[in-house]
Amino acid sequence: MERDQLRDGHGRTIGDLRLSVTDRCNFRCQYCMPAEGLPWLDRAGVLTFEEIERLVGVFASLGVRDVRLTGGEPLVRKDFPSLAAMLAPLVDDLSVTTNGYLLERDAKALVDAGVNRFNVSIDSLQRDRFFEMTRRDSLPQVLRGLETLAAFPEAHPIKVNAVALRGFTEDEVLPFARFAREHPYEVRFIEFMPLDGDRNWDRDKVLPGDELRAAIHAVFPLEPMPREPSATARVYRFADGQGKIGFINPLSEPFCGDCNRIRITADGKLRTCLFSVGETDLREPLRTGASDDDLERIIREAVWRKELKHHVNEPGFVQPLRTMSAIGG
């Protein structure tokens, strides 16, 4: 039975759940994870497929229609396409964010399972620079994965995400603009956020989306497209009609005002903001016989307290203990 839509205490309706299926990853991106990895969650502590299915069912009954599966790297979780097949019937939109390394193997199974949107993360189109950023020499493998996915029209439009870092991305921006013009991919640049495992984030390393946009516009003129409600990206089309490009500017142009997102970590903690310093445990209630009504009450109370906005731009900002890969970006 459909209940009242999930809302927070600031009048925002919550309809988008990002669910991490693992904190593990086969890459070690500089802006996310240390070279040696992180202390992984104990496998017994990670939600099972059945627990995830039950939670998604409860969220769907509260009006959550969009679910994005992420990680860590979601495709390293064993039998991940089977999990996608369990969840797809519960929601309108089931999407996956991946580094693309295993897409050549899994794209078909994921599309068949009902995943209808994909974000593939690529920070450089040059092999040596891709290696430098991800600490893996895997650009050819990732591009093969992207092509395998692109062969499925149901998976379009495919989004390609690049984290923008000062001193690195300036040289990538025009090759990515050409890539977006020549392929059916919407490339989106994401500002570097203080969620890295090495805790090396520094304001000077943030490359604001406006700078990238101006660099592209000088060569390939851009026209703004209307912003969808609750969207993270500001999307532009190339004035000659060939392709689109987007900018996710959480620091220079925060979009907290109409944020409709919440997150669940691989160990079942509900987080109401990427930058939350507190979280609400759903795993223990799940494992100790909570009813759906009990879960609904816990979720509603936590979501009601969703943060009004992030405080990254304010003095005294505290980086959350969990890093991006442990939260589920």
Q: Give residues in contact with ligand SAM (CB under 6 A).
A: 25, 31-32, 70-71, 73, 97-99, 121, 161, 163, 190, 192-193, 195-196, 324-325, 329
Interacting residues with ligand SF4 between 99 and 118 (CB under 6 A): 99
| Residue in 266, 277, 269 with CA at minimum distance from that of residue 310 | 277
CA-only gyration radius of the chain, Å: 19
In this structure, are strands 233-238 and 222-224 parallel, antiparallel, or unpaired?
Answer: antiparallel
Please give the Cα distance from 231 to 248 (Å, whole number).
9
Query: Which amino acid, residue 123?
Result: D
Asked if 21 touches ligand SF4 (CB under 6 A), the answer is no
Please give the Cα distance from 233 to 92 (Å, whole number).
20
Q: Which residue in 6, 33, 187, 298 binds ligand SF4 (CB under 6 A)? A: 33
**x/- letters, 113..142, toward ligand SF4 (CB under 6 A):** --------x---------------------
- The annotation status of 138 as a binding-site residue, yes or no, is no
- The annotation status of 72 as a binding-site residue, yes or no, is yes
Query: Which amino acid, residue 213?
Result: R
Asked if 206 touches ligand SF4 (CB under 6 A), the answer is no
Q: Which residue in 71, 114, 194, 320 binds ligand SF4 (CB under 6 A)? A: 71
Quick one: 2 or 204, whose CB is closer to ligand SAM?
Answer: 204
Q: Which residue in 25, 111, 115, 122 binds ligand SF4 (CB under 6 A)? A: 25
- The annotation status of 68 as a binding-site residue, yes or no, is yes
Answer for the pair 52, 19: CB distance below 8 angstroms, yes or no.
Answer: yes
Please give the Cα distance from 162 to 123 (Å, whole number).
4
Chain-centre distance of CA 225, in angstroms?
22
Q: Which residue in 159, 325, 326, 327 binds ligand SF4 (CB under 6 A)? A: 325
In this structure, are strands 93-98 and 66-70 parallel, antiparallel, or unpaired?
Answer: parallel
Asked if 320 touches ligand SF4 (CB under 6 A), the answer is no
Structure tokens at 319: 């980086």
Interacting residues with ligand SF4 between 259 and 298 (CB under 6 A): none
Q: How many CB atoms sit inside 10 A of residue 224's CB?
A: 10
Q: Which residues are annotated as a binding site?
A: 18, 25, 29, 31-32, 68, 72, 97, 121, 159, 193, 256, 259, 261-263, 273
Q: Which residues are annotated as a binding site for S-adenosyl-L-methionine?
A: 31, 72, 121, 193
